[in-house]
């Protein structure tokens, strides 16, 4: 169970303490903020106040925190700051989807996507710049891995989006814009576990974003040891990117399968649900023309999961990109595949693609930043517009 756990914990991103001599308070969950306040000789309730100002009110300036003692308000800036990654651009889609490109330094950029729906607002959050898993159908994977995001860079995407949307949508005080978070942006969240965990805790914290456990989803390509860790530490909703009903095909599509094959992965899913008995696993399955979309493969998928793990299957239309050499399955083939699963009693959905016109759909997030090393250059040439001045806190 420990195999790979150490490396999957993730090499930490460089800290602000190392870079600026002060800490970024977006790096802290409430426990860590309490410890920080204690080091400054402050009582734990001060941490609750500061945490609420940051996450519930969107404050980035200690002077705004009027219920803190003036001496504390004045001393805090010497020790910490509140800084989300600067926004390089904002793009809105005709269907209401909004995509932000965040500069995380060193020529790297990551994206977040807001997807408004009738009954909820979802933010799709990135966990890494690039990704080391290198799935065949994923443009992030094709970029290679650059680095892990810090907790502040993960939480900062939500902090920025939530408060920016509240302002721009002019929401009444206290009304949330985002009540659902999916870790389905760039990167493999369970290969950056050390930064992910405090971020999840902040999302769930009643003094933070107060999201319900079922409204925060970690999506993974199958880092088995870290699925076990997540079960123990913070059992939020789990989505597993399956994409194939057998090891031979999954080895080709998701190279991590060679390390953690389907049998182990499904056992980890079953074990995970032990900590969340009324939940289910969402299996994601990207429909690739002539590769994994045959009715026989649907039947193999039924044999793999039925009676073994409580699950739903989400069929994702593949979003093509030039280097993949793969094609999206025709609509009828997706429908026939769904039909086999549904006939077998497996709840199956076909994902609607959103934000297609701004390349914000699954697996397209890397498109615009394909050559991440050129972000700085493009920025200096002025070809990336700082469209959201308020969010740009460079």
* Residues of this chain that bind ligand SF4 (CB under 6 A): 131, 133-135, 138, 140-141, 187-188, 221, 241
Question: Which residues 154-183 are close enough to bind ligand SAH by CB under 6 A?
Answer: none
Cross-strand partners of 266: none
Give the closest residue to 40 by CA, choosing from 12, 64, 68.
Answer: 68
The CB-of-136 to ligand SAH minimum distance in angstroms stands at: 9
188 binds ligand SAH (CB under 6 A): yes
Determine which one of 131, 138, 269, 362 is catalytic. Answer: 362
The CB-of-6 to ligand SAH minimum distance in angstroms stands at: 19
Which of ligand SAH, ligand SF4, none has residue 184 at its interface (CB below 5 to 8 Å by kind)? ligand SAH
CA 327 remoteness from chain centre: 25
Neighbouring residues of 15: CB distance < 8 A, sequence distance ≥ 6 = 23, 24, 27, 150
318 binds ligand SAH (CB under 6 A): yes
16 binds ligand SAH (CB under 6 A): no
241 binds ligand SAH (CB under 6 A): yes
Which of ligand SAH, ligand SF4, none has residue 108 at its interface (CB below 5 to 8 Å by kind)? none
Q: Is 296 a catalytic residue?
A: no
110 binds ligand SAH (CB under 6 A): no
d(CA 99, CA 189): 19
138 binds ligand SAH (CB under 6 A): yes
The CB-of-38 to ligand SAH minimum distance in angstroms stands at: 36
The CB-of-144 to ligand SF4 minimum distance in angstroms stands at: 10
60 binds ligand SAH (CB under 6 A): no
Q: Is 111 a catalytic residue?
A: yes
The CB-of-86 to ligand SAH minimum distance in angstroms stands at: 23
- Give the nearer residue to ligand SF4 in terms of CB position, either 72 or 326: 326
The CB-of-135 to ligand SF4 minimum distance in angstroms stands at: 3
Which of ligand SF4, ligand SAH, none has residue 191 at its interface (CB below 5 to 8 Å by kind)? none
260 binds ligand SAH (CB under 6 A): no
Q: Which of 221, 292, 297, 329 binds ligand SAH (CB under 6 A)?
A: 221
Which of ligand SAH, ligand SF4, none has residue 318 at its interface (CB below 5 to 8 Å by kind)? ligand SAH
Q: Which of 143, 180, 282, 319 binds ligand SAH (CB under 6 A)?
A: 319
Neighbouring residues of 36: CB distance < 8 A, sequence distance ≥ 6 = 23, 25, 28, 47, 79, 80
Print the binding letters for residues 195-214 with ligand SAH: x by CB under 6 A, - otherwise: --------------------
SS (H, E, C) the chain: CCCCHHHHHCCCCCCHHHHHCCEEHHHCCHHHHHHHHHHCCCCHHHHHHHHHHHHCCCCCCHHHCCCCCHHHHHHHHHHEECCCCCEEEEEECCCCCEEEEEEEECCEEEEEEEEECCCCEEEECCCEEECCCCCCCCHHHHHCEEEECCHHHHHHHHHHHHHHHHHHCCCCCCCCCCCEEEECCCCCHHHCHHHHHHHHHHHHCCCCCCCCHHHEEEEECCCHHHHHHHHHHCCCEEEEECCCCCHHHHHHHCHHHHCCCHHHHHHHHHHHHHCCCCCCEEEEEEEECCCCCCHHHHHHHHHHHCCCCCEEEEEEECCCCHHHCCCECCHHHHHHHHHHHHHCCCEEEECCCCCHHHCCCCCCCCHHHCCHHHHHHHHHCCCCCCCCHHHCCC
Which of ligand SF4, ligand SAH, none has residue 199 at its interface (CB below 5 to 8 Å by kind)? none
Determine which one of 90, 111, 284, 368 is catalytic. Answer: 111
- Give the nearer residue to ligand SAH in terms of CB position, either 98 or 319: 319
Residues with a catalytic annotation lie at: 111, 362
Residues binding ligand SAH (CB under 6 A)? 137-138, 184, 188, 219-221, 241, 284, 286, 316, 318-319, 362-363
């Amino acid at each position: 169970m420990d195999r790979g756990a150490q490396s999957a914990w993730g090499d930490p991103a460089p800290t602000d303490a190392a870079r600026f001599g002060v800490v970024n308070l977006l790096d802290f969950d409430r426990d860590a903020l309490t410890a920080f306040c204690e080091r400054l000789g402050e009582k734990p309730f001060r941490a609750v106040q500061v945490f609420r100002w940051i996450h519930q009110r969107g404050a980035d300036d200690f002077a705004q925190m009027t219920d803190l003692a003036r001496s504390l308000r004045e001393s805090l800036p010497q020790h910490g700051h509140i800084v989300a990654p600067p926004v390089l651009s904002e793009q809105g889609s005709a269907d209401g989807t909004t995509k932000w490109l965040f500069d995380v330094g060193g020529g790297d950029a990551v994206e977040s996507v807001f997807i408004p729906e009738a009954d909820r607002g979802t933010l799709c959050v990135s966990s890494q710049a690039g990704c080391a898993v290198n799935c065949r159908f994923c443009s992030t994977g094709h970029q290679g891995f650059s680095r892990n995001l810090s907790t502040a860079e993960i939480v900062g995407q939500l902090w920025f989006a939530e408060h920016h949307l509240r302002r721009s949508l002019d929401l009444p005080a206290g009304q949330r814009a985002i009540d659902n978070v999916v870790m389905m942006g760039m990167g493999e969240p369970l290969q950056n576990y050390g930064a992910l965990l405090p971020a999840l805790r902040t999302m769930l914290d009643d003094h933070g974003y107060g999201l319900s456990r079922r409204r925060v989803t970690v999506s993974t390509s199958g880092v088995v040891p870290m699925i076990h860790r997540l079960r123990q530490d913070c059992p939020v909703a789990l989505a597993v990117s399956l994409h194939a009903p057998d090891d031979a095909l999954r080895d080709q599509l998701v190279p991590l399968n060679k390390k953690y094959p389907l049998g182990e992965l499904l056992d980890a899913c079953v074990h995970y649900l032990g900590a969340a008995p009324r939940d289910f696993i969402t299996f994601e399955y990207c429909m690739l023309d002539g590769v994994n979309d045959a009715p026989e493969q649907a039947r193999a998928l039924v044999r793999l999961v039925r009676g073994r793990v409580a699950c739903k299957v989400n069929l994702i239309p593949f979003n093509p990109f030039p280097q993949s050499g793969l094609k999206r399955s025709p609509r009828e083939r997706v429908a026939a595949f769904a039909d086999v699963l549904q006939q077998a009693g497996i709840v199956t959905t076909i994902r609607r693609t959103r934000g297609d016109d701004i390349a914000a759909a699954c697996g397209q997030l890397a498109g615009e930043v394909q050559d991440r090393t050129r972000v700085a250059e493009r920025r200096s040439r002025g070809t990336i517009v700082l469209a959201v001045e308020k969010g740009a806190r460079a």
